[in-house]
């Protein structure tokens, strides 16, 4: 039932197609009365990002990069717990373009790509020679013979078609980033290659995100995968992904997945699974979703996005759901019981972000047994209920976001004591049936807004 509904919706010739109509198409945008209200933000103590550096993987800020270099210089360390420099290079190699070595590549590489280092190519000194190690290829850049660049390990392809993707065969690439690939480009990937990391950034400003069959990636031994604004065929990972035994990080936001990722069951290598907001859209698109149970995103209700107009109006472009007001719909989102994730195993999981979905049910008490290394858990803006288990307070959290659900009962003291840690982001607000008393920390001086949790002098 899911697939025909999605195709029907995204093929509609609605009035807010890119560049045609602006505004919210008459859709009312829910707002908290005092939004933006800092009191409704999660409690932040210290610098959670300093110990959860994976949050900075997709940053393009120089300060963030220097922060990573400083904390991860020696690889896996106490201040760099989720990844080291080598892993980061397989996830976000843009650092090389800004902090790489400059000059003219050695004659052998320059003959293949006649450009200086620091523009669309990144270089490193290797065995006394300045070699090309990463590059970006646009439509206006002729295709080089990649096999003639022996030290090239990272490549970004813009607007790639099937022919372009097939051109990477027999290369030494470890990292491939596809930006706005054409239909069929991802499916054109085939082994054998040395690829260990694949990123897909789909075409965002269009009515229907590109259908992408991830079966084509089953032959790869990936360590990292990430995708944004694609329509995953079948609504989940294909079963053949169970062959991947070394996958460490999985990121897929706005991928229109609606079923549990059972293909990754018992994957002991998995450290991070990020799949927040599976189906997000601009207000105009909401007019064509009848009786779907859609909701304004938490960021929209609280006006915490970075839109220039305070998020009052959408531009009418399909990609404006990131900066402008947006809605989430359950038909192509995670709308099942959260407990199904615990049944997948993942005993070495450190990070799980599933916010902005429609997850139901409770958080089982045995969560700390199943995931004893969990450091970062985002479940805010779902439909979870029941008590908050005391076992959460035993986990090494630097981030725990449970706000905007329907949890109830007394908040365990062990969970409230998380606020005493030197670096923590803790969200409990907007759970109207939660009770207890909060420590006098930050903006919790008078209790936790949107709950029955008052203030107390000591726990």
Phi, psi torsion values for 337, nearest 5 degrees: -70, 135
Please report, for the chain, the start and end positions of each structural domain, with discontinuous segments joined by +.
2-55+231-455
pLDDT tens, residue by residue, 109-153: 999 999 999 888 989 899 999 999 998 887 655 566 778 899 998
pLDDT tens, residue by residue, 441-455: 888 888 999 999 998
CATH topology of domain 2-55+231-455: 3.80.10
| DSSP-derived 3-state class of residue 307 | coil
Confidence tier at 95 by pLDDT (50, 70, 90): low
Strands (E), 268-373: 272-274, 280-281, 295-296, 327-328, 351-353
Phi, psi torsion values for 24, nearest 5 degrees: -100, 10
| DSSP-derived 3-state class of residue 272 | strand
Q: What is the pLDDT of residue 74?
A: 61
Residue in the structure block whose two tokens are 């932040």: 44
DSSP calls for 62-121? HHHHHHHHHHHTTSSBTTB-S--HHHHHTT-TTHHHHHSB-BPPPHHHHTTS---BTSSE
Q: What is the pLDDT of residue 64?
A: 73
The residue among 249 and 386 whose pLDDT is bigger is: 386
Confidence tier at 273 by pLDDT (50, 70, 90): very high
The residue among 300 and 93 whose pLDDT is bigger is: 300
C-beta separation of 248 from 87 below 8 A = yes
Confidence tier at 39 by pLDDT (50, 70, 90): confident
| DSSP-derived 3-state class of residue 265 | coil
Range scoring the smallest mean pLDDT among 82-86, 204-208, 246-250, 423-427:
82-86
pLDDT tens, residue by residue, 325-337: 999 999 999 999 9
pLDDT tens, residue by residue, 196-244: 999 999 998 887 889 999 999 998 999 999 999 999 999 999 999 999 9
What is the mean pLDDT of the segment spanning 40-57?
A: 77
Asked if residue 371 has pLDDT above 80, the reply is yes
CA distances (Å), 342 to each of 290, 330, 332, 365, 369, in order? Answer: 32, 21, 21, 11, 10
Q: What share of the chain is helix, strand, coil (3-state, %, to 5)?
A: 25, 20, 55
CA distances (Å), 88 to each of 76, 195, 199, 224, 238, in order? Answer: 11, 15, 13, 10, 26
User: Which residues, 6 or more positions from 77, have their beta carbon under 8 angstroms from its beta carbon?
Assistant: 71, 84
Q: What is the pLDDT of residue 11?
A: 37
Q: What is the pLDDT of residue 258?
A: 97
Asked if residue 381 has pLDDT above 90, the reply is yes
Range scoring the smallest mean pLDDT among 11-25, 171-185, 240-254:
11-25
C-beta separation of 318 from 18 below 8 A = yes
Asked if residue 349 has pLDDT above 90, the reply is yes
- Could you tell me how many helices (H) and strands (E) the chain has, helices first? 12, 22
Strands (E), 220-373: 224-228, 231-232, 249-253, 272-274, 280-281, 295-296, 327-328, 351-353
């Amino acid at each position: 039932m899911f697939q025909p509904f999605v195709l029907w919706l995204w093929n509609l010739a609605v009035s807010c197609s890119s560049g045609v109509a602006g505004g919210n198409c008459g859709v009312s945008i829910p707002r908290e009365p005092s939004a933006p209200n800092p009191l409704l933000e999660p409690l932040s103590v210290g610098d959670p990002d300093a110990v959860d550096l994976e949050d900075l993987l997709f940053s393009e800020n120089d300060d963030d990069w220097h922060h990573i270099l400083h904390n991860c210089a020696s690889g896996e360390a106490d201040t760099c717990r989720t990844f080291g420099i080598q892993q980061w290079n397989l996830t976000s190699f843009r650092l090389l373009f800004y902090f790489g070595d400059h000059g003219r590549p050695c004659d052998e590489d320059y003959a293949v790509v006649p450009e200086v280092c620091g523009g669309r190519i990144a270089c490193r000194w290797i065995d006394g020679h300045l070699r090309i190690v990463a590059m970006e290829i646009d439509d206006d850049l002729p295709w080089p013979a990649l096999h003639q660049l022996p030290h090239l390990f990272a490549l970004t392809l813009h607007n790639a078609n099937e022919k372009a993707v097939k051109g990477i065969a027999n290369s030494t690439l470890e990292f491939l980033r596809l930006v706005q690939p054409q239909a069929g480009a991802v499916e054109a990937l085939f082994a054998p290659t040395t690829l260990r990391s694949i990123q897909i950034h789909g075409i965002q400003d269009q009515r229907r995100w590109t259908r992408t069959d991830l079966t084509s990636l089953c032959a790869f031994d990936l360590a990292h995968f990430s995708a944004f604004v694609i329509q995953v065929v079948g609504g989940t990972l294909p079963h053949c992904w169970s062959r991947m035994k070394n996958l460490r990080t999985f990121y897929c936001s706005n991928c229109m997945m609606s079923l549990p990722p059972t293909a990754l069951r018992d994957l002991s290598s998995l450290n991070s699974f990020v799949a927040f907001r599976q189906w997000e859209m601009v207000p105009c698109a909401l007019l064509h979703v009848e009786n779907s149970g859609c909701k304004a995103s938490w960021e929209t209700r609280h006006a915490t996005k970075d839109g220039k107009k305070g998020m009052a109006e959408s531009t009418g472009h399909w990609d404006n759901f990131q900066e402008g007001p947006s809605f989430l719909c359950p038909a192509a989102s995670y709308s099942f019981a959260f407990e199904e994730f615990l049944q997948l195993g993942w005993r070495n999981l450190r990070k799980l972000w599933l916010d902005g979905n429609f997850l139901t049910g409770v958080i089982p008490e045995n969560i700390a047994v199943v995931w004893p290394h969990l450091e970062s858990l985002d479940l805010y803006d779902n439909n979870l209920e029941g008590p908050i288990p005391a076992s959460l307070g035993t986990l090494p959290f630097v981030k725990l976001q449970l706000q905007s659900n329907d949890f109830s009962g007394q908040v365990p003291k062990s969970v409230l004591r998380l606020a005493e840690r030197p670096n923590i982001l803790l969200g409990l607000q907007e759970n109207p049936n939660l009770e207890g008393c909060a420590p006098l920390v930050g903006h919790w001086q008078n209790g936790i807004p949107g709950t029955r949790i008052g203030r107390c002098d000591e726990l």
